[in-house]
Amino acid sequence: MPLDATDLSVEARRKAACKTLLRQVHAILGKEGVTPSALHAIKLKLVALGKRSEIFPPADFAMPEAEGRSHILEVEDNDGLGLYLTIGLPGKEAAPHDHGIWCVNAAISGQERHVLWRRTDDGSKPGHATIEKIGEVMVEPGNGFAMADHDIHSTEVVGDQPAIGLALYGYALARFPSVVWYHPAFASVRPLPSRRGPGAA
Amino acid sequence: MSATLFQVRIGNTGTTISCAAEQTILSASIAAGLDYPYGCASGNCGACISQLESGQVAMLPRNDTSLSPAQAAAGQTLACRAQPRSDVAITWLGRGRR
């Protein structure tokens, strides 16, 4: 008698679900490219996966020692996609930044506030940048968030529970381009070194 | 009971600030109006990596990807994780600006 999905281990069902998601994402990107509508469609897929909390039991994922932690779910070779389970402890914040690559988030449990920012200077003065808030999204169960390559966001885990979610990036974290950090209080901007190696984009 | 305060000299700016023992050097710097580089402020990204020139610090938990054991052995630290245990001199290791 053939196995059905309920006969598989949680780990096997999680693995299968994550691989299915990546196949769906590639289908979307192959058809549309990285467009706002494509990222929205990907977000809906990731939100649906995040609702399947039974395949992401907390016992399978160690809590962070340093307020935040990313567990690899699926990472493709070379310049492929990276899918992670992320955990942020209450109060964890990140200053405004852009990743240099698109990303999509969806919640499994807890709440993380994402504030969207827009750069308002012309970038002509090295080290200087001004940004303004343009919106806010609460990533919580049933909700998600999508960003294009150079969209700017800041994050804050709110409430008294860890924010556990899914994060899908256009490149795996180990091959991230330069993440750029903005500090509006000082009107400053600093890029971190790219992880993509010499001569990489 | 008053908090134990240490003096922290920031080499990049030539500024000396006060930092409580239970405060991170990053948070004291920001509170003092210094544009100290940082990102996640939680020991994950490494944007605030710094050279501890002198003095002693205690470290809050961090990820090894943000500060490797070899970097720590070489006297580097993360301002967002470092709490002074003596007067300290520290210099942030510029990651470049644009």
Per-residue model confidence (pLDDT) at position B2: 66
Residues in A closer than 8 angstroms to B24, CB to CB, are: none
Interface test mutation site (partner B, options A192, A194, A195, max chain B beta carbons within 10 A): A192
Pick among 3.10.20.30, 2.60.120.10, 3.40.50.1970, 1.10.260.40: CATH of A9-191: 2.60.120.10
Say if CB B8 and CB B84 are below 8 A apart: yes
Per-residue pLDDT tens digits for B55-69: 999 999 888 778 888
- Provide ipTM, 2 decimals: 0.78
- Measured in degrees and rounded to the nearest 5, phi and psi for residue A132 equal -135, 150
B84 strand-pairing partners: B57
Q: Tokens at residue A108, please?
A: 């499994």
Nearest to B39 by CA among A154, A127, A155, A94: A94
Nearest-CA neighbor of B48 among A105, A192, A36?
A192
Give the model's pLDDT for residue A201: 38
**CA-to-CA distance for A28 and A170, rounded, in angstroms?**
13
**Which residues in chain A touch residue B43, judged by CB atoms under 8 angstroms apart?**
66-67
Rounded-to-integer distance, Cα A142 and Cα A106, Å: 8
* In chain A, domain spans: 9-191
Distances (CA, A) of A167 to A24, A70, A86, A196: 15, 9, 7, 20
CB-count exposure of residue A66 (10 Å: 0-12, 13-18, 19+): buried
Q: Does A72 touch chain B (CB under 8 A)?
A: no
Phi/psi for A21 (5° steps) reads -60, -50
| B18-65 pLDDT tens trace | 999 999 999 999 999 999 999 888 888 888 999 999 999 999 988 877
pLDDT along chain A (201 residues), means of 10: 69 97 98 96 98 96 89 92 95 92 97 97 94 97 96 96 97 84 94 66 38
CATH of domain B5-92: 3.10.20.30
Which residues in B lie closer than 8 A to residue A189 (C-beta atoms)?
Answer: 97-98
What is d(CA B29, CA B12) in angstroms, rounded to the nearest whole number?
Answer: 12
* pLDDT tier at B96, thresholds 50, 70, 90: very low
Classify residue A194 by its DSSP letter. Answer: P
Q: Which two tokens stand for residue B12?
A: 């990049």
